[in-house]
Amino acid sequence: MEIQSGTTIEGLILGMDLNPDTVVVECDGQIVLREEYGNHVLNTGSRVELIRFVGGG
């Protein structure tokens, strides 16, 4: 997936029209803490996995 340079995890998630609070993120094998979404900038070649949750239980 092509992204603009300087895109943060938060920006990536918002760009996909998702709520960052409902997404668990693994970036290059590390789970990213929620408070880091806004300042974690993605690099070329980063492998990002998003696990997105929907409500109901």
Residues binding other proteins (CB under 8 A): 19, 21-24, 26, 31, 33-34, 51-57
CA-wise closest residue to 7 among 52, 37, 51, 49: 37
Least Å distance between CB 31 and other proteins?
A: 5
Least distance (Å) from other proteins to the CB of residue 19?
Answer: 7
> What are the start-end ranges of the E strands in 1-57?
23-27, 30-31, 48-52
Round to whole Å and give the CA distance between 57 and 43. 36
- Shortest distance, position 44 Cβ to other proteins, whole Å: 25
Nearer to other proteins, 16 or 34 (CB): 34
